[in-house]
Amino acid sequence: MRTRGVLTAGFALLFSLTTGPVAAAWAAPTPSPSPSSSAKEDEGEMGNPPDQVDVPPVSTLAAPSFQLPFPCGQTWTGNSSNSSAHKSYEIDFNRGSTADADRGDTVVAAAAGTVVISAHQGSTNGYGNLVKIDHGGGWSTYYAHLTVRSVSAGAQVAQGQKIGTVGNTSKPGNNISPHLHYEVRQGTSYPGNIRKATFNGATFGYPNASVTSKNKCGGGGGSTNPHTAESVCGAGYKVIDSAALGSSGTVYLTFNAGNGNNCVATIKKASLGKATATAAYLEVEGKTRAADTGNFEYYAGPVRAAAAGKCVKWGGKAGSSTYNSPSEHCGS
């Protein structure tokens, strides 16, 4: 099952967040930027802030198919070594020729997931306006120093969806020039859980490189669900079965031939963007059923489990329609 962060009382006191409703687009006062020279820029102490919402755990398997967190076609230069606050593989992104040029530029989700933090961090760390997205399987991404946060904690977001704008918010008295601080993490053991970033299947060229975004270059959105079963389940998963849930959605069973794992996801067709009752489950022969059930905007899942050589039962719900499979797909 996917591990979740467990903070001791002392650690929580150091990195606690302000609780309460989160505005969908809230901007904190931003200090005047101080362009950095050859000296490393001090973003302020970072850390491991606790999530504002809980996401049902799923198995820790393959990483999502991350894309650059900027709109399609934009080229940004990332630097991992120019901040004294960096612990590992964090990246600071800029593209403008002057210190203030990137302020207000759109930041988008690197992969689909659930927003588990959308809050200004105050004086507890140097992140300023922070959005954290849980992508399932223990994977998450951090987007810091935003001028505006465009999503709220608990929201499901699509890959390429706007989540905020580039800024220079930080803790009081910490003047930094506008940039996006970006992190990929897996698991909870900070800072050892910070992973190398990958974009469009390629590992970022540490310590610095310029990358052109391929994020949602094929379009999407509108009245069509931007998520698919394969994008929800992750790289390597292919659909092997599906069942219609009336006009409300479809539940999919996928399989990853590389590791022998199945994954189930329910993709909504109606009430897109509105949190409605949706569910997905997977039960491997001889194992306890795993499920993702709740009120979701676009999909339920991913529900993953090792199932090589085992029969499975799978199914889901969207709207008033439910599907429950027999024990099947018993191949090796």
The string of pLDDT tens digits covering residues 103-143 is 999 999 999 999 999 999 988 899 999 999 999 989 999 99
Ordered strands of the 237-245 beta sheet: 237-245, 249-256, 261-268, 299-306
Decide which of 211 and 16 is more confident.
211
pLDDT category of residue 34 using cuts at 50, 70 and 90: very low
pLDDT category of residue 83 using cuts at 50, 70 and 90: confident
Closest CA to 125 of 109, 108, 142, 138: 142
pLDDT tens-digit series, residues 250-294: 999 999 888 889 999 999 999 887 889 999 999 999 999 999 999
Domains within the chain, CATH numbers bracketed: 22-31+45-219 (2.70.70.10), 229-324 (no CATH)
Kindly tell me if the per-residue pLDDT of 16 is higher than 50: no
Predicted local confidence at residue 308, as pLDDT: 86
Predicted local confidence at residue 44, as pLDDT: 56
> How many Cα atoms within 13 Å fall on the side-chain side of residue 187?
10
* Dist. CA 183–CA 69, nearest whole Å: 11
Predicted local confidence at residue 52, as pLDDT: 80
24-38, 48-62, 215-229: lowest mean pLDDT where? 24-38
Predicted TM-score (pTM) of this structure: 0.57
Kindly tell me if the per-residue pLDDT of 149 is higher than 70: yes
Q: Which two tokens stand for residue 329?
A: 């797909």
pLDDT category of residue 144 using cuts at 50, 70 and 90: very high
Read off the amino acid at residue 66: F
* Dist. CA 149–CA 160, nearest whole Å: 15
Q: To which H or E segment does residue 189 belong?
A: none
pLDDT category of residue 159 using cuts at 50, 70 and 90: very high
Kindly tell me if the per-residue pLDDT of 54 is higher than 80: no
